[in-house]
Amino acid sequence: MKLKINFVLKTGMEGEIPVIAIINFGYKEFDALKLKYVYKPLKYYTGIKIARQDWNETLKQPFQKSKQNELLNIQKTIEDVFQYLQMKDKVSNEAIKNELDVKLKGKSDEVVTKVRLIDFINQEFVHRDSYSLKTKQRFESFVRRLEDFEKEIRKPLYSNDMNEQLYAQYMEMRREKVKKQNSLWLSFADFKTVMRRIAKTYNVDVFIPTVEISPNDKVRFLKFEEKIYLNFEQIQKVIKHKPDTERMRDTKLIFLTLLFTGCRYSDVFKVKPEFSYSKNGVSFDYARFITQKRDVEVVIPILKPLKDAWKQNGGAIAHQYTEVAFNLNVKELIRLCEMEEKITLSFTNSRGKKEFETKPFHNFVSSHTGRRSFITNLINYVPVTILTKITSHQLKETSIIFGYNKTSLLENAVLFVKELGRLQESNQDHFKIRLI
C-alpha cells in the first residue's frame, strides 16, 4: 500500500483559494454509473488558503517559503497518520480524515458518525492478527458478499445508511444464493456482529437486526438438524483402509483423532500423548490443552485405536491442513472406504421450510462428523457429566449434547432393559420388586 500526496487549489474559486491535499493509497469505492470499483483518493481541506498568483502550478506548491513549510508540515502529519493507521490495519479514507481532523484542526476524536462496512470489516476482522485463519476467511467472504450487494444497490454501504429495508434486501439476496437455513443464519450472525462492533467502537447508534426487526423476520440457527455420524462398524472401515498418498494418510490420522477424542477441528493438532496416568490399576496416556473456541482446559484420554494409528505413523501426528482442505479430503477418504450408499436427510431451507436431500454418504461427512460420532457412540454408555468434560461442553448445554443421541426408540428401550437388569442385580436392597 503506497501513499501518494499532492496539493492542489480548489477549482472554480477566486481570491483566497483553499489548498486541498489529494491523498491516494489505492482505496476503491463502487461507482454506480460505471458499475465497477474505481480508485477513490481522499480530498482533504488543509485549512490553508492562497491566492492563485501565489501558487506555483508546476511544482504544486506556494511561492512563499512560509506557506511551503506549512504544507510540508501537513504532508509529514499525513504520512505519520497513514503509517500509524497502517500499523493498526485501519487505513481508510474515513479513518485518515478523522485522525487529520484531530491533529490538524483540533477536533474531538469522537467525530466518527459513519463507516463503510467493507472498510470496517477489513480493518477489524480480516487484517487483525489476533483472529484465526478460519475467522479471517469467514469475514473475507462477508466482504465479497457486501461488494456484490453494493453493486446491486449501486452505492457504497455505510453504517448510518443501514435500515430494515436495506437489511431485508441484503438477506433476500442471500436467500437466493444459499440453500439452507443455517447458511443463511451465518450471514445474519456476521451482519449482527459487524454492526454491534461498529456501535461499540465508535459509540454511535446503528441498525442492529436482532433489535430492530420483527420476530418473524429473524433468522434462527437450528441446532438439531438431521446429521450423519459414523458408527463403530463404519469407523472400523476407516481404521482398516490403507491410503496410497501422504495426503490421504494425514487425512485418515486427523479423522481418527476427531473420532476418538471428540475434539473440535480447531483443537485437533493440540491432541498429543504428552501426559501419562497410572494409579490403582488404571493406566493411560492423555492430552491436556486449552480449547480454541471456549478457552477452557480439557484432559482427553488417548484411546487404543488412536494410539495404534500414531504408532503406525511412526509416532508422529498428521501434517496440518486447513479445515476447508480437510473437509474436501475427508469426503474422498470416506468414499475410498466404500461408504458410498445414498442416504436422504431432511434440512431446513433458507426460507424456513423442510426439504429432503439425497446424496452419497461420504458427501455428508465433514470435520464435525468426527466429534459428532464420538459423542453419539458413547452418550448412552458414559455418564453425560463425564462426557461433557471430555468434549468441553458445558453442563448447561446438555440440550446440545443430547441432540447427538441418534439411538432409535427401540434401541433405547433395549439399552434401558439391559441397564435396568444390571442395576437390579447389583442393588437388590433397593429393588425389592424385580422389574426385569
Are residue 26 and residue 148 in the same domain, yes or no? no
Are residue 342 and residue 238 in the same domain, yes or no? yes
| Rounded distance between C-alpha atoms, residue 172 and residue 179, angstroms | 12
What is the pairing mode between strands 36-39 and 4-9? unpaired
pLDDT digits (tens, 9 = 90+) for 278-331: 887 888 888 999 998 888 888 898 888 999 999 999 988 889 999 989 999 999
CATH number of the domain that residue 261 is part of: 1.10.443.10
308's enclosing H/E stretch is helix 304-312
Residue 190: inside a domain, yes or no?
A: yes
Residue 181: inside a domain, yes or no?
A: yes
Residue 222: inside a domain, yes or no?
A: no
| Rounded distance between C-alpha atoms, residue 334 and residue 171, angstroms | 35
Are residue 37 and residue 77 in the same domain, yes or no? yes
Are residue 285 and residue 371 in the same domain, yes or no? yes
Query: Given CA atoms 137, 348, 395, 366 in this order, what sign does their dihedral have?
Result: negative
Are residue 302 and residue 383 in the same domain, yes or no? yes
Say how many domains are in the chain.
4
Residue 111: inside a domain, yes or no?
A: no
Are residue 410 and residue 326 in the same domain, yes or no? no
End-to-end CA distance of the chain: 77
- Output the tens digit of pLDDT for each of the chain's 436 residues: 689 999 999 887 778 888 999 999 887 776 655 667 778 889 999 889 899 899 998 888 999 998 899 999 999 999 999 998 888 777 888 889 888 888 887 665 555 678 899 999 998 898 887 777 888 899 999 999 999 999 999 889 999 888 888 888 998 898 888 878 878 888 888 998 999 889 888 878 888 876 444 445 555 555 545 688 999 999 999 999 999 999 999 999 999 999 999 999 999 999 999 998 888 788 888 899 999 888 888 889 888 899 999 999 998 888 999 998 999 999 999 999 999 999 988 877 767 788 888 999 999 999 999 999 989 888 877 778 788 888 887 665 555 656 665 655 565 555 655 665 676 687 777 655 554 5
Residue 227: inside a domain, yes or no?
A: no
Are residue 130 and residue 278 in the same domain, yes or no? no
DSSP labels for 346-360?
A: EEEBTTS-EEEEEEE
Last residue within a domain, chosen from 49, 74, 105: 105
Are residue 169 and residue 208 in the same domain, yes or no? yes
Residue 398: inside a domain, yes or no?
A: no
HSE of 30, CA atoms in CB hemisphere, 13 A: 20
Are residue 86 and residue 16 in the same domain, yes or no? yes
Are residue 325 and residue 362 in the same domain, yes or no? yes
Are residue 269 and residue 388 in the same domain, yes or no? yes
DSSP labels for 253-305?
A: HHHHHHHHH---GGGGGG----EEEEETTEEEEEEEEE-TTT--EEEEE--HH
Last residue within a domain, chosen from 105, 127, 160: 105
Q: Which amino acid is at 319?
A: H
Residue 110: inside a domain, yes or no?
A: no
Are residue 411 and residue 299 in the same domain, yes or no? no
Full domain range(s) for residue 203: 117-217
Last residue within a domain, chosen from 192, 217, 242: 217
How large is the angle between the packed helices 304-312 and 232-240, nearest 10 degrees? 10
Q: Which amino acid is at 125?
A: F
Residue 292: inside a domain, yes or no?
A: yes
| Rounded distance between C-alpha atoms, residue 434 and residue 265, angstroms | 47
Q: pTM for this structure?
A: 0.58
User: How far is CA 98 from its chain centroid?
Assistant: 29
